[in-house]
Chain A
């Protein structure tokens, strides 16, 4: 953490930083695609192993949604860190170190959507 901060300030306007894994955006995107392939192939196995009440298609749509959330990122190091976290999640899912509840947490079923119009906010007690 300190070393990357030092390299960042030392480089100044040139912005040459120590890479995490990939040196440029293409390599980072390649890692993202590999991770997506692995997740895509893992979804039907996960649905069978954890006995989830979703279809494979719903699972794959959710995987696509999680990947699309970070679509806008352009920094290769940020992309690499997210790929690393995605790989950790994938490993935990493949080896069944997670349980059904952890996997279903992606679907956020028990969370209520936030109120947007005035009346719902009023009933909840929020100021508009």
Chain B
């Protein structure tokens, strides 16, 4: 919702500075899928910015299109897709047989050290440490997705 309002404002203000426009569209395209995630703080900041700009009439497009260095927000589907992608790349797993509920040790016949390798691959993918006490309990892709969602505060 905030993105759509921003889009309209940007289109009205950015006509003279066409150089910035394609960059903004790319930004909006990245932010658009995340519109479902409710972000009250960002919306308040945007509305504040909107009011200030409306009063002062300065076409400071740079202020509207502040490019924060952050990753796109996580959703349960994207986490699941990334987890399954990483698992399919692992050479000891058959990519056709892997499902969301397949147990690493019982269904896929992997070792405990293989499971450690898988958890390390997940650490590298999502960029945060998973301590071993909790990592030894993650035995299916579904559990991994739930754990990551728990740690990263992703909910539906």
For B76, what are the chain A residues with a Cβ–Cβ distance below 8 Å?
none
Which A residues form the contact surface with B (CB < 8 A)?
A: 29-30, 33-34, 36-37, 40-41, 64, 67-68
Which B residues form the contact surface with A (CB < 8 A)?
A: 112-113, 116-117, 120, 132-133, 135-136
Q: Could you show 23 A-B contacts with beta carbons less than 8 Å apart?
A: A29-B112, A30-B132, A30-B133, A30-B136, A33-B112, A33-B113, A33-B116, A33-B132, A33-B135, A33-B136, A34-B132, A36-B113, A36-B116, A37-B116, A37-B120, A37-B132, A40-B116, A40-B117, A40-B120, A41-B120, A64-B113, A67-B113, A68-B113
Which secondary structure dominates where chain B touches chain A? helix
Instruction: Give chain B nearest CB distance to A80 CB in angstroms.
Output: 16
Instruction: Give chain B nearest CB distance to A61 CB in angstroms.
Output: 11
For A36, what are the chain B residues with a Cβ–Cβ distance below 8 Å?
113, 116
Instruction: Give chain B nearest CB distance to A50 CB in angstroms.
Output: 22
Other 5 A-B pairs with CB < 8 A, given A33-B113, A40-B120, A41-B120 = A34-B132, A36-B116, A37-B116, A40-B117, A67-B113
Q: In the complex the two chains form, what is the Cα distance from A85 to B74 in whole Å?
A: 41
For A29, what are the chain B residues with a Cβ–Cβ distance below 8 Å?
112
For B136, what are the chain A residues with a Cβ–Cβ distance below 8 Å?
30, 33
For A37, what are the chain B residues with a Cβ–Cβ distance below 8 Å?
116, 120, 132
Closest to A26 in B: B136
Instruction: Give chain A nearest CB distance to B111 CB in angstroms.
Output: 8
Closest to B91 in A: A57
For B132, what are the chain A residues with a Cβ–Cβ distance below 8 Å?
30, 33-34, 37
Q: In the complex the two chains form, what is the Cα distance from A30 to B136 in whole Å?
A: 8
Closest to A31 in B: B132
For B120, what are the chain A residues with a Cβ–Cβ distance below 8 Å?
37, 40-41
Instruction: Give chain A nearest CB distance to B34 CB in angstroms.
Output: 32
Q: In the complex the two chains form, what is the Cα distance from A37 to B154 in whole Å?
A: 27
Q: In the complex the two chains form, what is the Cα distance from A80 to B22 in whole Å?
A: 60
For A68, what are the chain B residues with a Cβ–Cβ distance below 8 Å?
113
Instruction: Give chain B nearest CB distance to A31 CB in angstroms.
Output: 9
Q: In the complex the two chains form, what is the Cα distance from A33 to B133 in whole Å?
A: 10
Instruction: Give chain A nearest CB distance to B139 CB in angstroms.
Output: 14
Q: In the complex the two chains form, what is the Cα distance from A122 to B145 in whole Å?
A: 60
Q: In the complex the two chains form, what is the Cα distance from A33 to B130 in whole Å?
A: 13
Closest to B114 in A: A64
